[in-house]
């Protein structure tokens, strides 16, 4: 039996997910309104997956909080988002999140996604698969994506390092420790990266970095 923690700001969403999972014989280990509330239970309660519903929250700031928490580095994290936010899921998957799913997914699909994520697979919703996917479920050679305008100013080697670490889900403190620099300097680099890429958030910067080939996996 899969054991799952649920995190959702909406009491209605939490109750709905609890009922849905219990009805399908999944064990709900706990249900929380915020990620911070979850922190104290992770060391004491064995869990297979953390299901986080972002409904009603700005996706980019929400995703930043998930990545800054470091949960995706140590646990199987599955995000449920509003369908319009699926396009930004590349940054989440690149930072260790195992699945990003629309919040209108069917119960059977959700359970299947949790099982696959627990097994170590990355889970994509069909709308995230390139249009070239063939009828048998395999993807043909992708066409070249639309060209992006050249950056007015290229990233420095240090900024490229910081961007790669952002894509790995590291927070400012962890980046500072790895590079042996101050958090203030990390913030400076992050601000410079956002400016050069024309991004309004860390999440968008990672997404743009992936599209430009600046982030490697």
- 78-92 per-position pLDDT tens digit: 988 887 666 656 667
pLDDT interval class at 206 (50, 70, 90) = confident
Domains of the chain, each with CATH number or no CATH: 3-128 (3.40.50.2300), 157-211 (1.10.10.10)
Provide mean pLDDT across the span 35-50.
Answer: 83
Q: Is 57 exposed, middle or buried (0-12, 13-18, 19+ CB in 10 A)?
A: middle
Q: How far is residue 84 from each of residues 26, 29, 172, measured CA to CA in Å?
A: 28, 30, 28
pLDDT of residue 150 exceeding 90: no
Q: Model pTM?
A: 0.63
pLDDT interval class at 100 (50, 70, 90) = confident
pLDDT of residue 131 exceeding 50: no
pLDDT of residue 142 exceeding 60: no
- Compare 41 and 51 and report the one with higher pLDDT: 51
Lowest mean pLDDT among 87-96, 97-106, 147-156: 87-96
Provide mean pLDDT across the span 51-65.
Answer: 79
Strand spans (E) along 59-112: 77-81, 99-102
**pLDDT value, residue 139:** 45
């Amino acid at each position: 039996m899969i054991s799952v923690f649920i995190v959702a700001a909406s009491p209605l969403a939490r109750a709905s997910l609890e009922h849905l999972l219990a009805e399908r014989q999944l064990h709900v280990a706990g249900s929380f309104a915020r990620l911070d509330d979850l922190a104290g239970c992770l060391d004491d309660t064995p869990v297979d997956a953390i299901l986080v519903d972002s409904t009603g929250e700005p996706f980019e700031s929400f995703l930043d909080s998930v990545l800054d928490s470091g949960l995706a580095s140590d646990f199987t994290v599955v995000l449920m988002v509003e369908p319009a936010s699926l396009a930004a899921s590349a940054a989440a998957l690149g930072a260790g999140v195992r699945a990003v799913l629309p919040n209108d997914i069917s119960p059977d699909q959700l359970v299947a996604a949790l099982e696959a994520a627990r097994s170590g697979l990355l889970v994509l919703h069909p709308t995230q698969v390139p249009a070239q996917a063939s009828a048998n479920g395999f993807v043909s050679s992708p066409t070249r994506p639309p060209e992006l305008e050249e950056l007015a100013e290229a990233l420095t080697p240090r900024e490229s390092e910081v961007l790669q670490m952002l894509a790995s889900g590291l927070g400012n403190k962890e980046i500072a420790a790895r590079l042996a620099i101050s958090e203030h300097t990390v913030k400076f680099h992050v601000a410079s990266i956002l400016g050069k890429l024309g991004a309004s958030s860390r999440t968008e910067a990672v997404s743009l970095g992936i599209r430009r080939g600046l982030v490697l996996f």
